[in-house]
Structure 1
Amino acid sequence: MAAQEAAAGGGSPQVVMRWRYGDVGDSNFAVHGRAVPLLVGLLCAVVFFVALCLYLRWRCHRRHAPDDPEADASSPSSAAAPSLPGLDADAIRGLPVTLYRPPASPRLRGEAGDDDPAAALCSICISALLAGEKVKVLPPCGHCFHPDCVDAWLRSQPSCPLCRCLLAAAAAKDAV
């Protein structure tokens, strides 16, 4: 009989394992003694390792992010690009201060007219420019702003807040 099975099975006898479900019980899966602290320690180590990997991944991506100021300061391209500091106090004081007069000439259809509130606003503080109020007129572009508003802007930026026209270039042309 064994010879027939060996000839039919290709020469090797087949081993069949059968599970006896009577041997499997809840007691086989119970954790006793020193195994509980060992499993808790192992779980804590896995959680710590995953957290460490996520933190390191976050730091590496943050270091190479283009909007990171620390990464921009250390990059070679930032050394070639000049930073634009604001204007000095003498240049800011040298800008003309006049009294605001609303435009009296009628405008073409489609342009901002006298009844348009956007035509008489300080674009920095978004409040109305009233007739007779002091305003600073920026020389290159002619835009008007409240003196306090535009002075704070010009201490950090050398350009018009509305059209971004450089005031430093205009001041250099006037000096020559």
Structure 2
Amino acid sequence: MGLQDPHPFNFADLKDKNLQIDTKTLILGVIFLLLLLISIFCFMYFLYACIRRRQSPAIGPVAGMGAPSTGLDKATISCLPIVSYGPGQSSLVGECSICLGAFEEGEKVKVLPLCHHGFHAGCVDTWLLSRPSCPLCRAAVVRVDSVAWPDMPCGHEAA
């Protein structure tokens, strides 16, 4: 048994042959590389969009297309009308829908001017500091399309 050649291919033979690349093969190779680059770019953009969407805060229906909405300022909240709950208040439900506590006769209830829902003052004030909508129906608490809020006892003007 003799020694076997560790290199079974003779590279000298390949150098001698005239290797010609067919133009059709070259065009197909270039098209394949372009498609590969476009696919990689689309995949990277998809990942970027997914990560950015996950990191950005959700925008609710009240906030609209702008930045996420914050609540009302303390001056606006303090101007909301307060009524004394009693048997003549047929438009108010008998309990605060935030804390689910029943209204007692003679208790002060803060009423939202546009939807006329009533809540305990402390409950609704805390809510309105973080959200500008009614806790019950999600309607806007104050109109933003008018210059002044006639329903507001303080006579604040819209900012």
Match of 2:139 in 1: 165
Question: Is 1:64 aligned to 2:50, yes or no?
Answer: yes
Say which structure, 1 or 2, has more relative contact order (CA 8 Å, 6+ apart): 2
Q: CA deviation at 1:82?
A: 3.3
Q: Indicate the percent of aligned positions where both proteins have the same amino acid.
A: 41
Q: Residue 102 of structure 1 contacts residue 120 of structure 1 at CA under 8 Å; is this kept in 2?
A: no
> Aligned with 1:64: secondary structure?
helix
Larger Rg: 1
Q: Residue 108 of structure 2 contacts residue 120 of structure 2 at CA under 8 Å; is this kept in 1?
A: yes
Runs of 4+ in 1 over 4 A off after TM superposition: 170-173
Q: Residue 109 of structure 2 contacts residue 119 of structure 2 at CA under 8 Å; is this kept in 1?
A: yes
Aligned CA-pair RMSD: 3.6
Question: Is 1:155 aligned to 2:129, yes or no?
Answer: yes
Task: Report the residue type matching 1:161 in the other structure.
Answer: P
Change (3 A) 1:86 1:134: same
- Correspondence for 1:87 among 69, 72, 78: 72
Match of 1:125 in 2: 99
Q: CA deviation at 1:130?
A: 1.2
Determine the C-alpha separation between the residues in 1 that align with 2:52 and 2:95. 35
Return 5+ residue gaps in structure 2 as ranges: 1-46, 150-156
Q: Judging by fraction of residues, say which structure has more helix.
A: 1
Which structure 2 residues correspond to residues 22-33 of structure 1 after superposition, within 5 A? none
Task: Report the residue type matching 1:143 in the other structure.
Answer: H
Determine the C-alpha separation between the residues in 1 that align with 2:84 and 2:135. 20
Match of 2:154 in 1: none
Match of 1:98 in 2: 83
Question: Is 1:136 aligned to 2:122, yes or no?
Answer: no
Number of equivalences: 100
